[in-house]
Amino acid sequence: MRAFTVERYGDKAGVRVGEVRDPDVGTDDVLVRIQAASVNPLDRMIRDGKMKAILPYRVPFVLGNDLAGVVVEVGSAVTRFAVGDEVFARPDKDRIGTFAELIAVHQDDLAIKPVTLTMEEAASLPLVALTAWQVLVERARVQPGQKVLVHAGAGGLGTVAIQLAKQLGAHVATTTSTANVGLVKRLGADVVIDYKKQTFETMLADYDVVLDSLGGETLKKSLDVLRPGGQVISVAGPPDAATGRELGANPIIRLVMSALSFRIRRLARRRNVSYSFLFMRASGDQLRELTPLIEAGKIRPVVDTVFPFESVREALEYAGTGRAKAGKVVVKM
């Protein structure tokens, strides 16, 4: 099969499109012919070697973390899927490889594609939708009437998180550029901070939850908008020891993670708030919980640009250099 592989870590020069062997199909696996896959910041981080400490993929390997496609084979123990089913998924972190014609996915990580979506739209959702769910529903347990700040509201994660937070009954604020103010308002944001003209930390107060996808100074300033007992949950800040345990990292790596996040955790404690890092996990069950919201139009995918498979390298560069206006970049097989 054709696939986009990382031959060496470092940059775009270390990747290629070429032929690789078809994946093996285990007893609990579903073989999917991929019709679309989307680009995530995680893909560039993996390609550039920034995740090797916690995701030590051995080169060469196939890149890609989101898919939509059609089932072409099922393992002997598979009970939920049949040949011909249209499906979507974020594969487990140890079984990535969606920039390819075929992938074998454990049945627990897979879900039937929402009938209202195209393959390209469906491929744009799994990683970001699962991240939003795990931040807002699982960890923050957002309740009606609570105040939630979603940073980078026009991004892939932000567009979904705004919509999910509104479905949970939250009052939602978001940050975005001038060009995307109208978009995030249409997605449901109650308060929009144009970061080119305004500073969110001086305009917002007493928030219950901040979903941080930017890290750095934005993360630090986010502590100041929380009420006592509030929480910042980041997908871009320094990982903590709990993340290391969840990923099965060795004790030394967990200690390093704890040290990396020590300063932000200390700042949070001084403000009587909390900081935690989230590395999302695959879950077909959670995708099934999200599907009714998607099919009802309560959560709508936002797709910026669709690239052909032969242009995966260009798609990664386009998404990573800030040229995407809003939502996700998708690769069509």
Question: Hey, where are the domains in the chain?
Answer: 2-125+301-332, 127-277
pLDDT at 241: 78
318-330 pLDDT, tens digit per residue, is 998 777 789 999 9
Task: Give me the count of residues in the chain.
Answer: 333
The yes/no answer on whether domain 127-277 falls in CATH 3.40.50.2300 is no
pLDDT at 317: 92
Confidence of residue 12 (pLDDT cuts 50, 70, 90): confident
The CA distance from 275 to 265, in Å, is: 6
171 pairs with which residues across the strands? 147
The CA distance from 149 to 274, in Å, is: 15
189-233 pLDDT, tens digit per residue, is 999 999 999 999 999 999 999 999 999 999 999 999 999 999 999
Let me know the angle formed at the C-alpha of 15 by 11 and 18, rounded to the nearest 5 degrees. 175
Confidence of residue 249 (pLDDT cuts 50, 70, 90): confident
Helix/strand/coil (H/E/C) assignment for every residue in 65-97: CCEEEEEEEECCCCCCCCCCCEEEECCCHHHCC
pLDDT at 54: 82
53-99 pLDDT, tens digit per residue, is 888 899 999 999 999 999 999 999 999 999 999 999 999 999 999 99
Exposure string for 176-200, b = 16+ CB within 10 A, e = fewer: bbeebbebbbebbbebbbeeeeeeb
> Which range, of 21-35, 45-59, 71-85, 170-184, averages the lowest pLDDT?
45-59
Tell me which amino acid residue 166 is. K
The CA distance from 98 to 299, in Å, is: 23
Q: Tell me if 30 sits within 8 A of 86, measured CB to CB.
A: no
Domains 2-125+301-332 and 127-277 share a fold: no
The CA distance from 224 to 271, in Å, is: 8
| Third-level CATH fold of 2-125+301-332 | Quinone Oxidoreductase; Chain A, domain 1 (3.90.180)
Q: Model's pTM, two decimal places?
A: 0.96
Kindly tell me the number of DSSP H helices and DSSP E strands found in the chain: 12, 16
